[in-house]
Amino acid sequence: LSHPLHTQLSDRLHIKGGRIVNDDQSFYADVYLEDGLIKQIGENLIVPGGVKTIESHGRMVIPGGIDVNTYLQKPYHGTTTVDDFYQGTKAALAGGTTMIIDHVVPEPNQSLLTVFEKWHEAADNKSCCDYSLHVDITRWHEGVKEELEVLVQDKGINSFQVYMAYKDLYQMTDSQIYEAFTFLKGLGAVVQVHAENGDLIAQEQNKILSMGITGPEGHALSRPEELESEAVFRAITIANQVNCPVYISKVMSKSAADIIAQARKRGESVAFGEPITASLGTDGSHYWSKNWAKAAAFVTSPPLSPDPTTPDHLNALLACGDLQVTGSAHCAYSTAQKAIGKDNFTLIPEGTNGIEERMSIVWDKAVAVGKMDENQFVAVTSTNAAKIFNLYPRKGRIAVGSDADIVIWDPDKTNTISAKMQKSALEYNIFEGMECRGSPLIVISQGKIVSEDGNLHVHQGMGRFIPRKPFPEYVYQRIKTRNRVMALQGVSRGMYDGPVHEIPATPKYTTPAPSAKSSPAKNQPPPIRNLHQSNFSLSGAQIDDNIPRRSGHRIVAPPGGRSNITSLG
Q: Of 395-454, which residues contact other proteins (CB under 8 A)?
A: 418-420, 427-429, 432-434
Least distance in Å: CB of 177 to other proteins?
Answer: 8
Q: Which is nearer to other proteins, 159 or 424 (CB)?
A: 424
Question: Does the footprint of other proteins cover residue 237 (CB under 8 A)?
Answer: yes
Angle at 76 between CA 74 and CA 78, to 5 degrees: 110
Q: Which is nearer to other proteins, 211 or 320 (CB)?
A: 211
Instruction: Single out the residue of 4, 44, 142, 343 in contact with other proteins (rule: CB under 8 A).
Output: 343
Question: Does the footprint of other proteins cover residue 175 (CB under 8 A)?
Answer: yes
Q: Restricting to residues 282-311, name those near other proteins by CB under 8 A.
A: 282-283, 285-286, 288-295, 306-309
> How many CA atoms, within 13 angstroms, populate the side-chain half-sphere of residue 57?
5
Contact 60, 18 (CB under 8 A): yes
Question: Does the footprint of other proteins cover residue 569 (CB under 8 A)?
Answer: yes
Question: Does the footprint of other proteins cover residue 484 (CB under 8 A)?
Answer: no
Q: Which stretch binds other proteins (CB under 8 A): 124-132, 388-396, 477-485, 531-539?
A: 531-539
230, containing H or E segment: helix 225-241
Q: Which stretch binds other proteins (CB under 8 A): 17-25, 57-65, 437-445, 532-540?
A: 532-540
Instruction: Single out the residue of 24, 111, 149, 496 in contact with other proteins (rule: CB under 8 A).
Output: 496
Q: Restricting to residues 537-556, name those near other proteins by CB under 8 A.
A: 537-540, 542-549, 551-555
Paired sense of beta strands 190-194 and 246-251, if any: parallel
Q: Which stretch binds other proteins (CB under 8 A): 1-9, 202-210, 379-387, 473-481?
A: 202-210
Count of CB atoms within 10 A of residue 323's CB? 25
Question: Does the footprint of other proteins cover residue 218 (CB under 8 A)?
Answer: yes
Question: Rounded to whole angstroms, how far apart are CA atoms 301 and 235?
Answer: 17
Q: What is the DSSP letter of 182?
A: H
Q: Which is nearer to other proteins, 153 or 344 (CB)?
A: 344
Least distance in Å: CB of 379 to other proteins?
Answer: 26
Question: Does the footprint of other proteins cover residue 45 (CB under 8 A)?
Answer: no
Question: Does the footprint of other proteins cover residue 110 (CB under 8 A)?
Answer: no
Instruction: Single out the residue of 125, 414, 481, 535 in contact with other proteins (rule: CB under 8 A).
Output: 535
Site size with other proteins, rule: CB under 8 A: 142
Question: Rounded to whole angstroms, how far apart are CA atoms 347 and 553?
Answer: 45
Q: Which is nearer to other proteins, 212 or 370 (CB)?
A: 212
Q: Which is nearer to other proteins, 362 or 398 (CB)?
A: 362
Question: Rounded to whole angstroms, how far apart are CA atoms 183 and 171?
Answer: 18
What does the H/E/C string look like for 350-417? CCECCCCCHHHHHHHHHHCCCCCCHHHHHHHHHHHHHHHCCCCCCCCCCCCCCECCEEEEEEEEEEEC
Q: Which stretch binds other proteins (CB under 8 A): 35-43, 203-211, 405-413, 474-482?
A: 203-211
Question: Does the footprint of other proteins cover residue 274 (CB under 8 A)?
Answer: no
**DSSP-derived secondary structure for 411-459:** EEEEEE--TTT-SSS-S--TTTT-EEEEEEEEEEETTEEEEETTEE---
Question: Does the footprint of other proteins cover residue 51 (CB under 8 A)?
Answer: no
Question: Does the footprint of other proteins cover residue 522 (CB under 8 A)?
Answer: yes
CA neighbor of 218 nearest in space, from 345, 386, 109, 343: 345
Number of residues written out for the chain: 569
Give the three-class secondary structure for 73. coil
Count of CB atoms within 10 A of residue 117's CB? 13
